[in-house]
Chain A
Amino acid sequence: MNIPDQPTNWKRWYLAVLLFLLLQIVLYYLFTKYWS
């Protein structure tokens, strides 16, 4: 897997990481509710 050698937009990376966390919490919450 190659990541192109160009200036990295780190703010976009940080945002993606935080959104991923939020998504996980929402999904796990739904998972918990569904199976309880």
Chain B
Amino acid sequence: MSSIDWIVLLGTLAGIIAYGVYKGRGQHGAESYLMADRKMPWYVVLLGIMATQASAITFLSAPGQAYTDGMRFVQYYFGLPLAMVVICVTFIPIFQRLNVYTAYEYLERRFDRKTRLLTSVLFLLSRGLSTGISIYAPSIILSSIMGWNIYLTNIITGGLLIIYTYTGGAKAIAHTQKLQFLIILGSMAIAGFLVVHNLPADVSMSDALYVAGKSGKLNVITSGVGGEGFDWKDRYNIWSGIFGGFFLALSYFGTDQSQVGRYLSAKDTRESRLGLLLNVFVKIPMQFLILLIGALLFAFYSFRPAPVHFNESALAAVERLRPEAMEQIQARYSVIQQEYEQATHQLVRTKGDEAASLAAMQRFSLAKQDLQLTRDSVRRLMTQANSGQDSNDTNYIFLYFVKNTLPVGLVGLLFAVIFLASWGSISAALNSLASSSMLDIQLLDNNQKLPEKRQLLLGRLHTLGWGIFCIAVAMFATKLGSLIEAVNILGSLFYGTILGIFLVAFYVKKVDGNTVFFAALLAEVAVVAVYWADVISFLWLNVIGAGVVVLVCVLRNILGRITGISENGERKQG
């Protein structure tokens, strides 16, 4: 990176920290520190929700995901609008009326203390671990590109945001998220424009889309139905997106404190609802456009030379460890790459001429297949050489383009975007983890109101403690596949069960704490068993978890009515 890029990068990060510390001043107690005094307007809630959901993983992995697997990942968000409506109708009015700090506080009022404890522990476990991965995600990429030590990078990535999260709490988080998200959106729009702008002079955007489409990268809607019927292990299709995605979104936005905390900081029910509903109008098109950048990058590297592997340091390592094998591969790759570029040009030239385009398509497909086989052989060699570097280069594709193609200044800005995106989601996660561990665990038996100063100190110590915990998790989070999926799979192991508990609380009457607690344990066992059996895609785990909890509680209700025995074991009178 040039010195101008460094100035832009460091200046942006320092500016955000200073802004957060400034906006977060004047803290005086738990309500102020954890809930931003419940004064936030709808647009701050909206941007907060979006910044919390969109981590660095979203902006790095998504273009890579489209590059390798196509745009079908967008279907994952189709359940979101349905979930938002349910949350606005049922969840928000109840949370706001009871004036709760955490979603789990409601469960103690509805059921009992142990149900509150169980759900908050499940939340702390899953959110704590996934936040660690959110720190690791940008760190591994930056350390690989810059040659920094990964452990030191983890500490810097997770440590700097703690400065304003520790001092300013929810208020600092809300205001920095607003600014961070606007910078991120602007930068991504510029990056997308420059992908198209840097195509060869004789290639239009329509040509690029044509190549991406012919390579199966514009497969936004897929049915999941193959030769042998519906494939339950297919990760992203319209059905898993609508149904699995609905349960995941309902659980994430309705019961995950990192999101609940955002809309509970709103002035009133109306501001919370507006923030959530307007998210729908921005989120899916935004995700579509980010994935489109990835599909266009595929076309870009069909017309321009692409490396045999996008993780440059992993490539350098394998070249050092297996020089002869790599020399042979590189020589073969260079020939195939030239043939592939020519085949791509021919494919575009023959557009509209049916017979000629059929022959061109055959040539293009063969060249693409050869290219893929060569890239696979490099990956295999990396695994065999055991260089300790990531052989999966999905997360490196977008940054390879940024580093090697964008003009001076913009490179620094795009690198800053990675930090800002991760800070936005990590800071909200730390705030929610601190709220839950402080109020749902430590102060659970504390009936006396603590002095405000003590509340503030406790909130800050919990934030700091979780910051350190998450950095520690990041240290161990090596050797994961595509990071975007790792985080989602981790969430799916617990989300369904937590959602099931809340659904029973809201919709099933006459169920007591013992029943729901037992049902939750049963559901968690079922989810983990199905996950290990590996018979179904992870998005369906949410449906199973929530389904088992609700089913067990409803059956217990019906059984109770038939036998006339109430849930606390007493025979009903009359």
Contacts and interface: CB of A to CB of B under 8 A. Distances in A.
B33 interface: no
A20 B81 contact: yes
A29 B219 contact: no
A10 B280 contact: no
B280 A36 contact: no
B81 A17 contact: yes
Interface residues on B, range: 20 to 34
Interface residues on A, range: 10 to 19
5 contacts: A10-B273, A18-B82, A28-B288, A29-B221, A35-B213
A17 B404 CA distance: 40
Given A1-B43, A8-B270, A10-B88, A36 B78 contact: no
Nearest to A33: B221
B42 A3 contact: yes
Nearest to B209: A35
A2 to B, nearest CB: 10
A21 B78 contact: yes
B284 interface: yes
Contacts of A25: 78, 221, 238
Contact of A35 (B88, B218, B274, B288): B218
Interface in A1-36: 1, 3, 8, 10, 13-14, 17-18, 20-21, 24-25, 28-29, 31-32, 34-36
B433 interface: no
Interface of A: 1, 3, 8, 10, 13-14, 17-18, 20-21, 24-25, 28-29, 31-32, 34-36
B150 interface: no
Contacts of A20: 81, 280-281
Contacts of A21: 78, 81-82, 280, 284
Interface string B215-253: 010111110000000000000001000000000000000
Contacts, number: 62
In terms of DSSP, what is the predominant structure of the interface of chain A?
helix
Interface in B265-324: 270, 273-274, 277, 280-281, 284-285, 288
B212 A17 contact: no
A1 B288 CA distance: 25
Given A10-B273, A32-B221, A35-B210, A18 B78 contact: no
A36 B85 CA distance: 33
Contacts of B284: 21, 24
Nearest to A1: B43
Given A35-B209, A35-B210, A36-B213, A17 B280 contact: yes
B294 to A, nearest CB: 14
B219 A36 contact: yes
A18 B280 CA distance: 9
B413 interface: no
B30 interface: no
Nearest to A15: B85
Most buried by A among B81, B82, B216: B81
Given A21-B78, A31-B220, 11 more contacts: A8-B270, A10-B88, A14-B277, A17-B281, A18-B81, A18-B82, A24-B78, A25-B78, A28-B221, A35-B210, A35-B212
Nearest to B219: A32
B84 interface: yes
A15 to B, nearest CB: 9
Interface in B73-122: 74, 78, 81-82, 84-85, 88-89
Contacts of B280: 17, 20-21
A13 B218 contact: no
Interface string B37-74: 00000110000000000000000000000000000001
Contacts of A36: 213, 216, 218-219
Nearest to A8: B270
A33 to B, nearest CB: 8
